[in-house]
Amino acid sequence: MELKAPPSLRPDVLRIIPLGGIGEIGRNMTVFEINSQILVLDCGVLFPEETQPGVDLILPDLNYLEDKLDRVVGVVLTHGHEDHIGGVPYLLGMRKDLPILGSKLTLALAEAKLKEHRITPFTHTVKEGQVERLGPFELEFVAVNHSIPDSLAVIIRSSAGTVLATGDFKMDQLPLDGRLTDLRAFAKIGQEGLDLFMVDSTNADVPGFTPLERDIGPVIESVISKTPGKVVVASFSSHVHRVQQVLDAAHANRRRVVFVGRSMVRNMGIASELGYLRVPEGLIVDLNDIDELPDDRIVLMSTGSQGEPMAVLSRIANQDHRIVIGEGDTVLLASSLIPGNENAVYRVIDGLVRLGANVVHKGNAKVHVSGHAAAGELLYCYNILKPKNVFPIHGESRHLHANAKLAIQTGVPSEQVLVVQDGAVIDLAAGVAKVVGQVKCDMLYVDGKTVGKITDEDLKDRRILAAEGFISIFAVIDPKTGLVVEGPEIRARAYAEEDHVFDDILPEIQKALAAAAREGIRDTYTMQQVIRRTIGGWVAKAHRRKPMIIPIVVHSSRPA
Amino acid sequence: MELKAPPSLRPDVLRIIPLGGIGEIGRNMTVFEINSQILVLDCGVLFPEETQPGVDLILPDLNYLEDKLDRVVGVVLTHGHEDHIGGVPYLLGMRKDLPILGSKLTLALAEAKLKEHRITPFTHTVKEGQVERLGPFELEFVAVNHSIPDSLAVIIRSSAGTVLATGDFKMDQLPLDGRLTDLRAFAKIGQEGLDLFMVDSTNADVPGFTPLERDIGPVIESVISKTPGKVVVASFSSHVHRVQQVLDAAHANRRRVVFVGRSMVRNMGIASELGYLRVPEGLIVDLNDIDELPDDRIVLMSTGSQGEPMAVLSRIANQDHRIVIGEGDTVLLASSLIPGNENAVYRVIDGLVRLGANVVHKGNAKVHVSGHAAAGELLYCYNILKPKNVFPIHGESRHLHANAKLAIQTGVPSEQVLVVQDGAVIDLAAGVAKVVGQVKCDMLYVDGKTVGKITDEDLKDRRILAAEGFISIFAVIDPKTGLVVEGPEIRARAYAEEDHVFDDILPEIQKALAAAAREGIRDTYTMQQVIRRTIGGWVAKAHRRKPMIIPIVVHSSRPA
């Protein structure tokens, strides 16, 4: 099934390859290809977990596109979340003039990000109902409801069939902005005949329905009205509707609001400028002005709800921020708890509690609803659309399988439900979607200025270094005699290194090297192996440890 | 407030020092001292989190006891969980003949652990209602209900007052073994006058009451009866009552049970031998015999419910175990999800789902109840006991503060509720408990054979190595001229090291060293600083990275 994925040259075959977002939640990107023309849908980042230390971001496997950039007709962004737009600067770094399509808010957020990378993109704003043609692709945009405004699903029509890609979505029936997921459009496309449904799986394993965003409002209102001191609300910096509810509650309680945290300030600036956030006159004040306000007139709207160590909330908890929290103040974490962040978040909560604050969070109050459709909502979609083929995306294996099960329960034949890995090559032709191969699809790591230089091998080294530390042994040998002329010199780090810990083994290394020289060994590689064996065996026995051992033997530049 | 904590010599002062278990959940140990005699209550371990890479275990700060071992009259263990007994081998490593008191099951589990360390302890079995005298301490044991059988609270009476330490407990009113937390004994001690209540805080921030353990039985039963293939149940290997419910359900469904995983096999052997686990005749079979049984006659009771990479369940998910799971099989994780383990557990679940298994867990079914008293239960305790002073233990800050709040709500004056840090020195005299100082109380790290050798400084190094890798630069200089005679030689690991990545900087280092030599610098320390500055500046600028930089400059042993 390994396949180099040659261009799909035929007008009756639409090729679809996910290059991220399958088997993980994040770094979403899918490429569509027909008649050798390519459409890119989303280009997001994945945030590293603890097994990927030091990595800043993980990109979809952009390498796939490297020799195909001239064939890309455009990039469509469904919404403005990092896991869908975060990789765009790296994609545009490969070809700056790629046309980017998206809704007004999505493009504004993407442009702000690109500005930081000093890239001015070619953009084209679209909205729901609009139809665009990009090469062989006809795109129709459909309003969907999500945890960021102005999200779009996209219908991709081609000579080989029709695809509906939901992007991220849910079906809040009383959304704050009145913008529903457009089930009428879903019904129309269902009527017309949908060949492939690419559908968000994030909450497919959650039974029932995602609660209404507006149900959180009264909780926020109650927290703010009952707090005698300051209120700090932390949430996602792109969650405009959550912030709206905080602003409304603050306003109703005659409090002023301060945005704190770089991304919060930036995003809410964009959202209010474009009209997505309604800000009552005089409500917002600057952080520098809060000293003049009594505590019970202040709401701080901040970042850091996931315990990010450098974000505002962590710094407040560590008393490393000009905002000082204490008895009488309340901190509200109006957010989910993304798996893997628990320890970090609880550390922040503990810090705030120690300072005397009352902390309200998902664990003790109803202060968050998800942005993704739960099982009950997905069933509605399947029944309205009646798709011929289903491709669950955006989820880990358990979510994809749960979503597949829902599709099958509504009558989609199980062989027409494609649960695949990243890099799967799916061909859609004559109403049938089939996996026809697999292309290489690796994690592409960003670390500092490097993209794709850090490999999985490096990460393995990092994990060993983290768990065990290292011991480095340097020696200079005479290339003629093989005898040590300088060293051996031992250094260790992160290895319980005490002054005399290596006193026992140094003479052993000297002996082993001398013996090797007597046996006629002169090359540095073998001498390094001699050192590695000698110290490795000793360390395992004496300390029951397995540090990284790095012997460095060089030939002397000035033989005796 | 810093205090060396000299022995408490007076018979009217009882000194209490927690040396672990406060501000964290784990490594529980408290010392009691009166008239220079010391009692140790519990000695557990804490398991490391991701910020403590490579650490095997974390002990309470046993260093405090180092020069006081001759004054210890005994060690009391409240129950057999690792966070209460796991440190005993290290404590006995300091003084082998310390008398250990505990219930039958607790001592059996401690002895099995000590056997692995080749220590045969001096033990004394106690049970509820029993009174023992150890030097100046009169101990009375009280039955409590927890997620392991045979748990005890202990009343510590002394000439300076009376303490009730709950150990870990909850108040299941219909426990499987009928052994209730003895509220009659609590009432009696309340009547008599309780000076200090040391109380489990784990669930103090959970409103209401912990549900009944027996409510899980029907769920387990339903999963087993509905599964067409094999059932694997993963749970804690000490949770005898949970295992009992699995055995009963398997038996009712005419399935055989196999214990898998070293600790599961060992603990259930002990529990059934001592009569805590009732095993129907012929129910248990050996793993080697399951090939002869049809899948629908098998229940595998295994370890690994927390996603531990070396435990049975992870290995099954990775297809690295002789138990093969697939379509038609069900895996039931009948356990909590300990914060910090989420990613590991979800990785295991995803692996099992990919293999086709149905996975039932806390996220989608009612398959776990906690072993700790929730807020509602704690209120009962406070009201029955009416303690003069309260000392919330066993919890992170948010739990301790929540517990303190409950105490205060029942009428304990807030100044008599002591929320402290590990190492706090609490003196109880004339019915008043007061914090009188603070002793050093560090994390004591076990790594391989070393105890307390790995420091926080080492862990900081490990985190840097993990995030950034390292660059090592070796050079030999002539001590007379300062000129480089061998090297510089550069090696890097976990740093996106490509063959030519350091080509640009090597000449810069040579130039900087030559310049230093011209300035008269001869000492190796300063030369190392020159290298560090040169390469550090370059790396930050060229790659925007901060690896660990380890320059090693030595004087030549054979000057020119």
Handedness of CA A58, A61, A66, A70 (dihedral sign): negative
Q: What residue numbers of A does the annotated binding site for substrate cover?
A: 237-239, 368-372
Would you state the pLDDT for residue A427?
Answer: 97
Interface test with A, best of B486, B531, B541 (most A CBs within 10 A): B486
Decide if B396 contacts B239 (C-beta within 8 A). no
* Percentage of chain A modeled with pLDDT above 90: 86
* Contact assessment for residue B489 and residue A557, using Cβ atoms and an 8 Å cutoff: no
Amino acid letter for position B510: Q
User: Measured between alpha carbons, how far is residue A515 from residues A473, A508, A510, A519, A520 in Å?
Assistant: 17, 10, 9, 6, 9
Beta bridge pairs of residue A151: A144
Question: Can you give the pLDDT at residue B266?
Answer: 96
CA–CA gap between residue A115 and residue B527 (Å, rounded): 42
pLDDT confidence of residue A448: 87
CB-based contact (8 Å) between B207 and chain A?
yes
Six token digits for residue A163 = 């695809």
pLDDT of amino acid A269: 96
In the numeric block, which tokens belong to residue B155? 């009343």
CA distance B403 to chain A (A): 12
Adjacent-strand bridge partners of A153 = A142
Is the CB of A489 less than 8 angstroms away from the CB of B558? no
pLDDT at A559: 60
**Residue A106 has which token pair?**
């999505």
CA atoms of A485 and B357, how far apart (whole Å): 62
Residue A450 has what pLDDT?
87
DSSP string over A446-466: EETTEES-S-HHHHHHHHHHH
Judged by CB atoms closer than 8 Å, whether chains meet at B458 and A545 is answered as no
**Residues on chain B touching A203 (C-beta within 8 angstroms):** none
Q: In Å, how far is B449's CA from the nearest CA of chain A?
A: 5
Chain B residue at shortest CA distance from A461: B494
- Pick from B426, B431, B424: nearest CA to B195: B431
Residues B38 and B32 sit within 8 Å (Cβ to Cβ)? yes
Instruction: Examine the pLDDT at A378 and tell me if it is beyond 80.
Output: yes
Contact check, Cβ <8 Å, A342/B346 = no
Residue B58's pLDDT is what? 96
**Residue A1 pLDDT > 60:** no
Q: List strand residue ranges (DSSP E) for B104-146, in order.
A: 122-125, 131-134, 137-144
Separation CA B409–CA B417 (nearest Å): 11
Q: What are phi and psi of B105, to 5 degrees?
A: -65, -40
Interfacial A residues in 40-99 facing B (CB < 8 Å): 49-51, 53-54
Q: A364 touching B, CB under 8 A?
A: yes
Closest in A448, A465, A476 to B486, CB measured: A476
- What pLDDT score was predicted for residue A497? 65
pLDDT under 70: residue ranges of chain B? 1-4, 497, 499, 559-560
ipTM: 0.85
Q: Is B417 helix (H, G, I), strand (E, B) or coil?
A: strand
Could you tell me the two tokens for B501? 């990545």
Which residues, other chains included, contact A191 with Cβ-Cβ below 8 Å and sequence gap of 6+?
A: none
Measured between CA atoms, how close is A327 to chain B, in angstroms?
12
Q: Say yes or no: A353 contacts chain B, CB-CB below 8 A.
A: yes
Is A353's CB within 8 Å of B498's CB?
A: no
Interface contact B205, partner A, CB < 8 A: yes
Q: Which residues of B354-366 are buried (b: 16+ CB within 10 A; e: fewer)?
A: bbebbbbbeeebe
d(CA A270, CA A362): 28
From residue B5, give the alpha-carbon distance in Å to each of A7, B36, B436, B439: 77, 11, 9, 7
Asked if A489 is an interface residue toward chain B (Cβ–Cβ < 8 A), one would say yes
Whether residue B468 and residue A556 make contact (CB cut-off 8 A), yes or no, is no
Q: Which two tokens stand for residue A264?
A: 């919060």
The pLDDT assigned to A14 comes to: 97
Is residue B445 a contact partner of residue B55, using CB atoms and an 8 Å limit? yes
Catalytic residues of A: 200, 372
Burial class (CB in 10 A: 0-12, 13-18, 19+), B311: buried
Percent of chain A's residues with pLDDT above 70:
98
Average pLDDT, stretch A144-149?
97
Q: What is the pLDDT of residue A501?
A: 82
Q: Per residue, what are the HEC states of A165-194? A: ECCCCECCCCCCCCCCCCHHHHHHHHHHCC
Q: Looking at residue A487, what is its pLDDT?
A: 85
H helix or E strand, kind and range, residue B268: helix B262-273
Chain B residues whose CB is inside 8 A of the A354 CB are 397, 401
Q: What integer pLDDT is reported at residue B450 of this predicted model?
A: 87
* Across A67-72, average pLDDT: 96
Yes or no, beta carbons of B448 and A487 under 8 Å apart: no
pLDDT in tens, A228-273: 999 999 999 999 999 999 999 999 999 999 999 999 999 999 999 9
In this prediction, residue B40 carries a pLDDT of 98
Residues of B in contact with A116 (CB under 8 A): none
Go through the domains of chain B in sequence order and give each one's CATH number: 14-208+370-456 (3.60.15.10), 213-360 (3.40.50.10710), 469-555 (3.10.20.580)
Q: Which entry of B200, B248, B422, B427 is annotated as an active-site residue?
A: B200
Find all residues with CB under 8 Å of B341, minimum gap 6, and list them: B306, B307
Whether B372 is catalytic = yes
Q: Is B410 helix (H, G, I), strand (E, B) or coil?
A: coil
- pLDDT reported for residue B8: 77
Check if the beta carbon of residue A201 is closer than 8 Å to that of residue A394. yes
Tell me which residue in A346, A495, A496 faces B339 most closely, judged by beta carbons.
A346
Tokens of B559: 């000057």
Average of per-residue pLDDT values in chain A: 94
pLDDT value at residue B373? 98
Task: Give the model's pLDDT for residue A543.
Answer: 85
pLDDT digits (tens, 9 = 90+) for B198-242: 999 999 999 999 999 999 999 999 999 999 999 999 999 999 999
pLDDT band at A518 (very low <50, low <70, confident <90, very high): very high
Q: Among the residues of B320-396, which ranges form H helices?
A: 342-354, 375-385
Task: Say what the pLDDT of residue B497 is.
Answer: 65
* For helices A375-385 and A183-192, angle between their N-to-C axes, nearest 10 degrees: 40
**What's the rounded Cα separation, in Å, for the pair A399 and A418?**
13
A 373-432 → B contacts, CB under 8 A:
396-398, 401
Q: What does the pLDDT read at residue A4?
A: 66
Mutate to test the interface with A, among B346, B352, B353 (most CBs of A within 10 A): B353
Q: In this predicted structure, what is the pLDDT of residue A355?
A: 96
pLDDT (0 to 100) of residue A495: 83
Q: What is the DSSP letter of A430?
A: T
Hey, what amino acid is at B241?
A: H
Cα distance between residue B62 and residue A441, in whole Å: 50
Beta-strand relationship, A358-360 and A161-165: unpaired
Determine the distance from the C-alpha atom of residue A403 to the mean position of all C-alpha atoms in its chain, rounded to a whole number.
Answer: 21
For B241-306, strand residue ranges (E) read: 256-260, 298-302
Task: Give the Cα separation of A80 and A44 in Å (integer).
Answer: 10
Q: Identify whether the C-beta of residue A49 lies closer than 8 Å to the C-beta of residue A196.
A: no
At A187-203, the pLDDT tens digits run 999 999 999 999 999 99
The first and second tokens of residue B195, run together, are 């000076």
pLDDT at site B545? 87
CB pairs under 8 A between A and B: 190
Residue A2 has pLDDT above 70, yes or no: no
* A331 min Cα distance to partner chain B (Å): 13
